[in-house]
A and B are shown apart, each in its own frame.
Chain A
């Protein structure tokens, strides 16, 4: 079945009216996608550490159990760190969602096919690892439901969203790691401190 969803529209919709959602993005296309949807200090787009986006999300979810955490990453990035799904399954982080934007390609390196182009089913892997909810999403209606789940449903939640393989204009977030880290920490602290006082 040919994918019909477009990645920028999907991510835009998932992040619409994001409220207090904390967002981590895998390197490459998904980092550009979340930035195209509107940069925020409470987004942590990565430029490296391939395979670790979901684990950064887990660390954040464990440290901030009262906040919802969303990891948006690519199929290639997720494939590099599949063990993270098992680790998240064991921790059962109820506030964590991992969404793989799956174009079945390594987009930054020449659009070579990834394992998902050869039918590797990441949603089935996540289900086997103990994610309570894990789906392949192919429709706009499915994206609407996924957005609601990310904001409210008890997780961990996993979704593999099939999207069109397309080359898009780069929308780059800040690339200084210290800036990305410090702005995130400061924004979260400003949010959390009044709650604690």
Chain B
């Protein structure tokens, strides 16, 4: 899987210094790359909502940041995205999808299905990477803008997760 390396390069090229994340298996490699990058500060969050505060504060301080999360975390963002909209904070989120093709956990399905609508309802533009090669260019494009954009990484890109694979990780 190369897309995380490509995304890391895109983040570095755009001068991203702060990366907020709630861990997700699909983001494992990218999180490790950001942690190992001495120019980046990887900030582990207890909930995705904290990431919005982090991004807003970092912007006020003149630094670019991105957020990594899985689709279930989008549900935790709803109210605080109001601040992004009303203050027009630039925001880039890379969201790995759950509840799609091959999902083993039915409890992931409702939020996965609602993710694009929830984001759009709160003023976030949604871009979809259905193939691995699409992820980094979409992230690079989002980083050029001053808008709020979410890049959704399809579950088919991440690969299918089973309980067996989970325990082996």
In the complex, whether A181 has a CB less than 8 A from a CB of chain B is: yes
A106 cross-chain contacts in B, Cβ below 8 A: none
* B44 smallest CB distance to A (angstroms): 6
Known: A48-B86, A83-B50. A192 touches B57 (CB 8 A): no
Chain A, 139-157, CB within 8 A of any chain B CB:
none
Known: A24-B57, A57-B57, A192-B62. A52 touches B50 (CB 8 A): yes
The contact of A184 among B53, B60, B63, by CB within 8 Å, is: B60
The prevalent SS among residues of A at the interface is: helix
Known: A56-B56, A59-B59, A63-B58. 5 other contacts (CB 8 A): A49-B56, A60-B58, A62-B18, A86-B46, A185-B60
* Chain B residue nearest to A52 in the complex (CB): B53
* Range class of the B interface residue count: 20 to 34
Interface of B toward A, CB cutoff 8 Å: 17-18, 41, 43-47, 49-63, 65, 79-80, 82-83, 86-89
Assess whether B63 is in contact with A53, with CB atoms less than 8 Å apart. no
Assess whether B86 is in contact with A59, with CB atoms less than 8 Å apart. no
Contacts between chains A and B (CB distance < 8 A), count: 126
Assess whether A63 is in contact with B61, with CB atoms less than 8 Å apart. yes
The contact of B57 among A47, A63, A86, by CB within 8 Å, is: A63
Considering only CB atoms and an 8 Å cut-off, how many residues of chain A contact the other chain?
39
Assess whether A90 is in contact with B60, with CB atoms less than 8 Å apart. no
The contact of A46 among B46, B58, B83, B88, by CB within 8 Å, is: B83
Cα-based distance from A67 to B44 in the complex (angstroms): 23
Cα-based distance from A185 to B87 in the complex (angstroms): 12
In the complex, whether A84 has a CB less than 8 A from a CB of chain B is: yes
Known: A63-B18, A63-B62, A177-B86. A52 touches B80 (CB 8 A): yes
